[in-house]
């Protein structure tokens, strides 16, 4: 019998959707919740934005603990999965299209790590966030602590990771873990509206350039950044001149 | 060095110890090659030799600046003068590197490279009527003079992406909410407030940080 896919990829016009599909909690069966090649193929169909959401009421409660205990028995294989999971999230983080997490319900552990690898996070008022790993004597293994610290500052991030406490939507907004807070069940609607506004009539090249500039601003020296932005600008300007001539 | 410089697009003068950079091509105060040439003279030659203790940048007439003169910009790019674009960007960047406080007093339209220039200043005071935005993406371009990295710094990644890709206009209160401007005032007193802040921050430049200066401005 065929199992229902745990991750659903679908394209609606220019927008890609990645749905974590293991309701109700949307547990992730392993750290590499999707094959990077499969995701890459999907992105390369030319989507202009990617929205990540969970099926049903919750985003994702993270790793399935029972399953995890089984997996850890084979240390080498588990390390391999963890490494692949990290590669997937780094890939998502560096994508040159906007990636939006539409969060409702629980967003825990590896679920929160996925959300933190996105560019924009919107949640509804019922959303709950936590890194409960510490309660099981581990820590977020997919770069979540570092990404969290970039948003909240180091001291708040340490508290969240070491206490493992739950954070409600309002607090998450205050701590800058999420960028927007909307009414119950409206996170998806907000994401749909936002992606439409930022991709409509925008050529993919312009979207790539903006996102590259965004990513570069974190990683490059000022001189390098200026050079890169100017090159992208020049290329787009030359293209737009050719178009206007026709 | 002269205490007064009057170009075609920009003027410079020192009053009461403060350096005033004014865009003098109203109503739009557009930025073209002449603008950047004159801006370069002021930034690289006049200011380093001057005694100004702070800088105030504003537009004459109703608006701050509606940004680049596209035809002129395209002409430069066709001649493959990317070096010109890099040095324009570096001029803007050097505003943020000044050892004296640099304040943008914004009113009316402040869009495109007009807003980018303001974003490189240390402080932005805005009139209530201001209209801001980075519309470049709607012409198939990107903000090319540091607008994206400055928005990342002030407003965060999500807002930077949204504003750069939507390309829409927004008002002063939204700009305040998103930390793009520091304070909003009635149009009539923006320059007056900028002068007050210039003196306050110049005196206390080493002693206080940016938010201290803004707090003291409210007293």
Q: Are residues A180 and A110 in the same domain?
A: yes
Q: Given a cut of 90, is residue A109 above it in pLDDT?
A: yes
Query: Domain total for chain A?
Result: 2
pLDDT per position as a tens digit, B167-214? 999 999 999 999 999 999 999 999 999 999 999 999 876 666 888 888
Cis peptide before A163 (omega within 30 of 0): no
Region A26-32: mean pLDDT is 93
**A192: phi > 0 → left, psi -120 to 50 → alpha, else beta; which?**
alpha
Residue B103 and residue B53 in contact, taking contact as beta carbons nearer than 8 Å:
no
pLDDT per position as a tens digit, B82-119? 899 999 999 999 999 999 999 999 999 999 999 999 99
Q: Given a cut of 90, is residue A69 above it in pLDDT?
A: no
Region B3-20: mean pLDDT is 95
Question: Is residue A146, in this structure, part of any structural domain at all?
Answer: yes
Region B44-66: mean pLDDT is 96
Q: Residue A2: CB partners within 8 Å, gap ≥ 6?
A: none
User: What is the average pLDDT value for chain A, to the nearest integer?
Assistant: 95
Question: Does A202 sit within 8 Å of B165, measured CB to CB?
Answer: yes
Q: Are residues A68 and A94 in the same domain?
A: yes
Question: Is residue A210, in this structure, part of any structural domain at all?
Answer: yes
Residue keyed to tokens 């293991």: A22
Count of residues making up chain A:
246
Q: Given a cut of 60, is residue A246 above it in pLDDT?
A: no
pLDDT tier at A1, thresholds 50, 70, 90: very low
Centroid of chain to Cα B189:
18
Question: Is residue A135, in this structure, part of any structural domain at all?
Answer: yes
Q: Are residues A192 and A208 in the same domain?
A: no
Q: Given a cut of 90, is residue B5 above it in pLDDT?
A: yes
Active site residue A44: no
> Where is B109: in which H helix or E strand?
strand B109-111
Residues of chain A with Cβ-Cβ distance to B86 below 8 Å are 226-227, 230
Residue where a domain stops, chosen among A166, A183, A199:
A199
Residue keyed to tokens 């399953």: A67
Q: Are residues A183 and A140 in the same domain?
A: yes
Look at residue B20 in the predicted model and tell me its pLDDT.
98
Question: Does B93 sit within 8 Å of A214, measured CB to CB?
Answer: no
Question: Does B146 sit within 8 Å of A226, measured CB to CB?
Answer: yes
B137 touching chain A per CB within 8 A: yes
Region B152-161: mean pLDDT is 97
pLDDT tier at A45, thresholds 50, 70, 90: very high
Q: Given a cut of 70, is residue A52 above it in pLDDT?
A: yes
Question: Is residue A2, in this structure, part of any structural domain at all?
Answer: no
pTM over 0.80: yes
Look at residue B2 in the predicted model and tell me its pLDDT.
62
B138 touching chain A per CB within 8 A: yes
φ and ψ at residue B177, rounded to 5 degrees: -60, -35
Look at residue B196 in the predicted model and tell me its pLDDT.
96
Active site residue A113: yes
Q: Are residues A158 and A176 in the same domain?
A: yes
Question: Is residue A1, in this structure, part of any structural domain at all?
Answer: no
Q: Are residues A240 and A152 in the same domain?
A: no
CB atoms within 10 A of CB A58: 24
Strand partners, A16: A11, A50
Alpha helices in chain A (DSSP H): 36-43, 65-72, 75-94, 109-116, 144-152, 154-163, 169-174, 187-199, 204-219, 222-245
Q: Are residues A37 and A144 in the same domain?
A: yes
The domain in which residue A215 lies consists of: 204-245
Q: Say which CATH topology domain B4-218 has.
A: 2-enoyl-CoA Hydratase; Chain A, domain 1 (3.90.226)
Residue A50 and residue A9 in contact, taking contact as beta carbons nearer than 8 Å:
no
Question: Does B148 sit within 8 Å of A237, measured CB to CB?
Answer: no
pLDDT per position as a tens digit, B121-136? 999 999 999 999 999 9
Please report how the helices A204-219 and B157-166 are oriented relative to each other, as an axis angle in degrees rounded to 10.
Answer: 150
Q: Given a cut of 50, is residue B13 above it in pLDDT?
A: yes
ipTM: 0.95
Q: Are residues A129 and A237 in the same domain?
A: no
Distance in angstroms (rounded) separating the CA atoms of residues A140 and A110? 7
In percent, the amount of chain B with pLDDT more than 90 equals 85
- Chain A's closest residue to B150, CA to CA, is A217
Q: Are residues A218 and A159 in the same domain?
A: no
């Amino acid at each position: 019998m065929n199992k229902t896919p745990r991750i659903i990829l679908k394209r609606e016009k220019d927008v890609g959707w990645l749905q974590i599909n293991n309701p109700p909690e949307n547990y992730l069966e392993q750290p590499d919740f999707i094959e990077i090649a499969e995701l890459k193929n999907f992105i390369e169909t030319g989507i202009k934005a990617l929205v990540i959401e969970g099926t049903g009421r919750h985003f994702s409660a993270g790793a399935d603990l029972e399953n995890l205990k089984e997996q850890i028995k084979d240390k080498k294989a588990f390390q391999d999965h963890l490494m692949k999971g990290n590669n997937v999230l780094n890939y998502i983080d560096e994508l040159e299209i906007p990636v939006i997490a539409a969060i409702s319900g629980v967003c825990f552990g590896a679920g929160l790590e996925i959300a933190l690898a996105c560019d924009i996070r919107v949640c509804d008022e019922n959303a709950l966030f936590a890194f409960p790993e510490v309660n099981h004597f581990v820590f977020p293994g997919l770069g979540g602590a570092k990404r969290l610290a970039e948003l909240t500052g180091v001291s708040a991030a340490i508290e969240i990771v070491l206490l493992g406490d739950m954070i409600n939507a309002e607090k998450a907004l205050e701590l800058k873990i999420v960028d927007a807070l909307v009414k119950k069940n409206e996170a998806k609607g907000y994401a749909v509206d936002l992606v439409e506004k930022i991709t409509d009539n925008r050529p993919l090249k312009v979207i790539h350039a903006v996102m590259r500039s965004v990513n570069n601003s974190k990683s490059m020296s000022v001189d390098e950044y200026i050079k890169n932005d100017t090159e992208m600008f020049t290329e787009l300007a030359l293209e737009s001149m050719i178009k206007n001539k026709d | 060095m002269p205490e007064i410089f009057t170009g075609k697009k920009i003027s410079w003068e020192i009053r009461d110890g403060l350096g005033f950079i004014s865009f003098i091509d109203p109503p739009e105060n557009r930025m073209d090659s002449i603008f950047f040439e004159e801006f370069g003279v002021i930034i690289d030659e006049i200011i380093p030799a001057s005694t100004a203790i702070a800088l105030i940048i504003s537009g004459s007439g109703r608006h701050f600046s509606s940004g680049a003169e596209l035809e002129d910009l395209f002409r430069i790019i066709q001649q493959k003068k990317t070096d010109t674009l890099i040095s324009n960007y570096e001029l803007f960047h050097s505003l943020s590197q000044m050892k004296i406080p640099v304040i943008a007093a914004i009113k009316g339209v402040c869009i495109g490279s007009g807003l980018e220039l303001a974003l490189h200043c240390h402080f932005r005071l805005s009139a209530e009527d201001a209209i801001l935005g980075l519309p470049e993406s709607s012409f198939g371009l990107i903000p090319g003079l540091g607008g994206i990295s400055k928005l990342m710094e002030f407003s965060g990644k999500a807002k930077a992406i949204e504003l750069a890709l939507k390309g829409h206009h927004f008002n002063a209160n939204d700009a305040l909410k998103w930390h793009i401007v520091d304070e909003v005032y009635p149009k009539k007193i923006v320059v007056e407030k900028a002068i007050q802040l210039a003196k306050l921050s110049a005196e206390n430049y080493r002693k206080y940080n940016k938010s201290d200066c803004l707090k003291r401005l409210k007293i």
